[in-house]
Amino acid sequence: MEMYDVQHNLLHWQNHAIHISPLLLNLIDWLTASDIEKRPANTQDILHSLEEIENQFTEINLKDTNTLKNSQIEYLSAPINNNLSTQTGEILPSASCDQREEGFNTPTEKEFRAAKSSEVESPDDLVLLSPSIPTHKQPEKVPLLAFFAVMLIALGLLSIVTLATQKSDFSEISNYRQYPEKKGNVDYFDYKVGRDSQGRVAEFNIAVLSPEYKWLLGSNFQIKYNDEIISLDLLNLNLEQGSIEKIMEAPSEIISVGIASCKGDRPVQERMALERSKQIQVLVKKLFINTPSVKGYRLLNLGQFQRSECKETQDITIYQRSIIIIGVKRESSGVILDEALRDRLEKKPFADFKLEDYSLGSAQKFKTIPSN
């Protein structure tokens, strides 16, 4: 979707809704903020905002109405030419003396005096008496409360459903999506908890080299950086300068992730992904050699990217051929690390990454390989 910027978690949609009041656009942005803490705390906050919007609309309508009435009164208070026909705009002949003695100069003037002698209670009545002034339909009051009442009911129902399923496994597999913090050349995803089948937990963070860095197609030792091809040694230097060991925030273990594109035979690409994970691990050991918190290393081979619409020369997802490392912080004694990691990646995925997109991402095939 071209309106969505996954890198910055922004939806550029307001330019596509220019016919909607900016007041409503801001309210919708408030209601749908990606950070839950930045959304309205309760329905009272929403109702208060709706009342403010409705009051502003009412003030605008009243100003328009008063402007219209004032213009009508000014029009009626202008000098009237007794000899000017109110119907055709033609100058009428002067009345005769006999007619003046009768008290009326012309038929038109007679009609006007008759109208003038009647009771007029408001400027709107003047509009009805003057055939030369067009009537205008008054702006209708926007029924905002009625409109948004339906929305609030829908939100309330969604809240009830969410509370009812909050403790179930299904609720955890939601539309949750973790978005990156940009730290130099690294897209960083902070620690999130994963659980094994026994409920024991571990925390995992993720560091991905910026999308400009990708594995060269068919290679397990060369990286493509924009239009350049660089070696792993040069990449190591770039990461050292970016202080990735500080970015990872003291992990106890580091997992090097190997992935391959959809090009070629699956078994061949799965071996390619394994070799890439090994190359990343060599790089990682150099980077974290002086980091005392790191006690071990692991490999994770996710295999070949396998979406049916995948094209050899075009990535479908942001990190389809990226260099990825995962940091581990163990919290529960005896936690099954593979189960907890897969739980974290499946239920709290980063960016547009999905385990199901990879040939070795299923629960039966997902496995890390310890390495000293």
Contacts for 125 with CB less than 8 Å, ≥ 6 apart? none
Residue 335 and residue 164 in contact, taking contact as beta carbons nearer than 8 Å? no
Pick the residue with more confidence: 122 or 304? 304
CA distance 19 to 107: 50
Residue 336 is predicted with a pLDDT of: 95
Determine the 3-state secondary structure of 11 from DSSP.
strand
Tens digits of residue pLDDT in 337-367 = 999 999 999 999 998 899 999 999 999 999 9
- Greater confidence, 264 or 18? 264
**Per-residue pLDDT tens for 200-248?**
999 999 999 888 888 988 888 888 888 888 888 888 877 776 788 889 9
Band of residue 101 on the pLDDT scale cut at 50, 70, 90: very low
CA separation (Å) from 93 to 34, 81, 89, 98, 204?
77, 12, 13, 14, 98
If one counts every other C-beta atom within 10 angstroms of the C-beta of residue 71, the result is 12
pTM assigned to the model? 0.56
> Could you please report the per-residue DSSP string of 325-359?
EEEEEE-STT--HHHHHHHHHHHS-BTT--GGGBT
CA distances from 173 to 39, 206, 248, 354, 363 (A): 22, 19, 26, 12, 15
pLDDT surpasses 60 at 93: no
The DSSP symbol for 314 reads: B
pLDDT at 80: 47
At 323, is the pLDDT very low, low, confident or very high (cuts 50, 70, 90)? very high
Question: Where does 178-371 sit in CATH, by number?
Answer: 3.30.1330.60
Over residues 87-109, mean pLDDT = 48
Q: What is the pLDDT of residue 234?
A: 82
Torsion of Cα atoms, 259 then 265 then 267 then 268, to 10°: -70
Task: Please check the confidence at residue 83 and state whether its pLDDT lies above 80.
Answer: no
- What pLDDT score does 99 carry? 47
Q: Where are the domains of the chain?
A: 40-164, 178-371
Q: What confidence tens digit (pLDDT) does each residue in 122-177 have?
A: 444 444 444 444 444 444 444 555 555 546 654 554 554 444 444 333 334 445 78
Q: Are 366 and 355 in contact (CB under 8 A)?
A: yes
